[in-house]
Amino acid sequence: MKSCTPVIGLEIHVELNTKSKMFCQCSADYFGKKPNTNTCPVCLALPGALPVPNRKALEWCIKIGKALNCKINLKTKFDRKHYFYPDLPKGYQISQYDEPVAVKGKLGKFGITRVHMEEDTGKLLHSGDDSLVDFNRSGVPLVEIVTEPDFTNSEEVKEFLQQLHTIIRYLEVSDADMEKGSMRMEPNISLRKFKVQSSKFKDELPNYKVEVKNINSFNFVKRAIEFEIKRQTELLEKSETPTQETRGFDEKTMKTVSQRSKEEAHDYRYFPEPDIPPMVFKQSYIDSIELPELPSAKKERFIKKLELKEADAAILTQDVEIAKFFEEVLAKTNASPQSVANLIVNKKLSTESSPDEFAKLAENMAKPKETDLANLGAAIKSVLSANPEAIINFKAGKETVLMFLVGQVMKEMKGQANASLVKEELLKSLK
Ligand code: ADP
Ligand code: MG
Ligand code: ZN
């Protein structure tokens, strides 16, 4: 099966950090709260309660769509997606089906199918024989991003997800903290039995796919994909078609395990949410939603305008907090951007240090210290007195002598001096 080509598409869920939940006024900040204290009749699905969409959440969903170069639909609506699970109090999730907020985007060379708005579920807690449910998270705004099945290996998936994570954090719509579950990833994997490049069947997808649910680290996504490619290859080699199913990733064994197969696959019975009228946006409203400078543009600017080394620009733009910190320090000092970058990249101070402390340090490092200058002065004096003929030759116009003297002083300083500063000070002494 050397000629197999993996086909991979991704579904990513991002919890928005709006003040309130998606359809009620409960706080969206449920983390660490006493179970079932962050609830109301709407997010508990008590009879008669009516959902009212969160304007900010919709705006932020549009923002994500724009950042992923999507077309924003002017007409969009909510739908009910039915399934039975105890963490879903209504028996359906309010989501979007055929008219999502955003469609047809791109991030790098990978297609974005859609970006839609939905609500998070509650959380199940299992203890011994009991299962408990906490509805604090129920109704928290959730954005789902679906990609085209454009990926062919685990490494490009990981890079894409890291890039997406960085963008979400730049937009400041979510902390996208995977430990807390605010960003969750689901790869769908299948194998084509031929090489893509040489085939006219390029657009034809395998007739099955395996979805690995709810992974919370880039590396686990990578490992899950690699495990699936190996597992499915082995099946195909035995001329078996892998079962279309949903699997989970076991972090202890680094393997995927079957959860439910096609036979039990859900018929979600999608239909338009009757309690929320369809929404129609004006183009002027869509246009008024502005994007911040995105990571790729910021990196370009750091390289072109600030003349940072590419590797440093990459590190400093990888997370919005670091980028902000760097620019804050820069605004407070006259030291060169690269010297400030060096300080931050080499972690010369702890990350808890204030921008002021960094700025001060950057300036002090740019300025030669007085003790350094004194040492340099002494070294120059001793080199000059040991080389009287060099001074005569220099004064006679033989300028190459200067470089010889710089070399001698550097040697005297055991390399612990800045060559251009040595040259400057030597010239002063030779006058
Ligand atoms: P479903 O309705 O089962 O959720 P979708 O068509 O919405 O399926 O696709 C869900 C995800 O699976 C998308 O990211 C898509 O790119 C991906 N996908 C679709 N078909 C395949 C396939 N044959 N192999 C791998 N991924 C696929
Ligand atoms: Mg799906
Ligand atoms: Zn509520």
Instruction: Confirm or reject: Cβ of 246 under 6 Å from ligand 1.
Output: no
Q: What is the pLDDT of residues 125-144, one digit of tens each?
A: 998 999 999 999 999 999 99
pTM value > 0.75: yes
Residue 395's SS3 state is helix
Least confident segment among 163-172, 299-308, 362-371: 362-371
Q: Is the pLDDT of residue 263 over 60?
A: no
Q: What is the pLDDT of residues 39-49, one digit of tens each?
A: 999 999 999 99
Q: Please give the pLDDT value at position 337.
A: 93
Instruction: Confirm or reject: Cβ of 149 under 6 Å from ligand 1.
Output: yes
CB-CB contact of 424 with 380 (8 Å) = no
Instruction: pLDDT band for 351, please (50, 70, 90 cuts).
Output: low
Q: How far is the CA of 246 from the centre of ligand 1 (A)?
A: 12
Closest CA to 205 of 9, 421, 403: 9
233-244: b (≥16 Cβ within 10 Å) or e: beebeeeeebeb
What number does the ligand 1 atom closest to the CA of 205 have? 23
Q: Please give the pLDDT value at position 357.
A: 84
Say what percent of the chain tops pLDDT 90.
73
Q: What is the pLDDT of residues 321-338, one digit of tens each?
A: 999 999 999 998 888 899
Mean pLDDT across the stretch 268-286?
97
Mean pLDDT across the stretch 91-98?
97
Which residue's alpha carbon is at the smallest distance from atom 13 of ligand 1? 9
What number does the ligand 1 atom closest to the CA of 11 have? 14
CB-CB contact of 406 with 422 (8 Å) = yes
Instruction: Confirm or reject: Cβ of 205 under 6 Å from ligand 1.
Output: yes
- Between CA 266 and CA 210 the distance in angstroms is 15
Q: Please give the pLDDT value at position 349.
A: 59
Question: What ligand is nearest to the CA atom of residue 208?
Answer: 1
Mean pLDDT across the stretch 309-328?
94
How high does pLDDT run on average in the chain?
92
Q: Please give the pLDDT value at position 193.
A: 82
Mutate to test the pocket of ligand 1, among 160, 164, 188, 236 (most ligand atoms within 8 A of CB): 188
Q: Is the pLDDT of residue 224 over 90?
A: yes
Q: Please give the pLDDT value at position 355.
A: 84
Q: How far is the CA of 19 from the centre of ligand 3 (A)?
A: 12
Q: How far is the CA of 149 from the centre of ligand 1 (A)?
A: 7
Q: Is the pLDDT of residue 410 over 90?
A: no
Instruction: Confirm or reject: Cβ of 11 under 6 Å from ligand 1.
Output: yes
Q: Please give the pLDDT value at position 350.
A: 62
DSSP label of 383? H
Question: What ligand is nearest to the CA atom of residue 110?
Answer: 1
Secondary structure (DSSP) of 254-287: TEEEEEEEGGG------EE-TTS--EE--HHHHH
Question: What ligand is nearest to the CA atom of residue 191?
Answer: 1
Which residue's alpha carbon is at the smallest distance from atom 24 of ligand 1? 190
Q: Give phi and psi for 380, each to the nearest 5.
A: -60, -45
Q: What is the pLDDT of residues 167-203, one digit of tens each?
A: 999 999 999 999 999 999 999 999 998 655 555 556 6
Q: Is the pLDDT of residue 246 over 80?
A: yes
Instruction: Confirm or reject: Cβ of 209 under 6 Å from ligand 1.
Output: yes
Instruction: Confirm or reject: Cβ of 12 under 6 Å from ligand 1.
Output: no
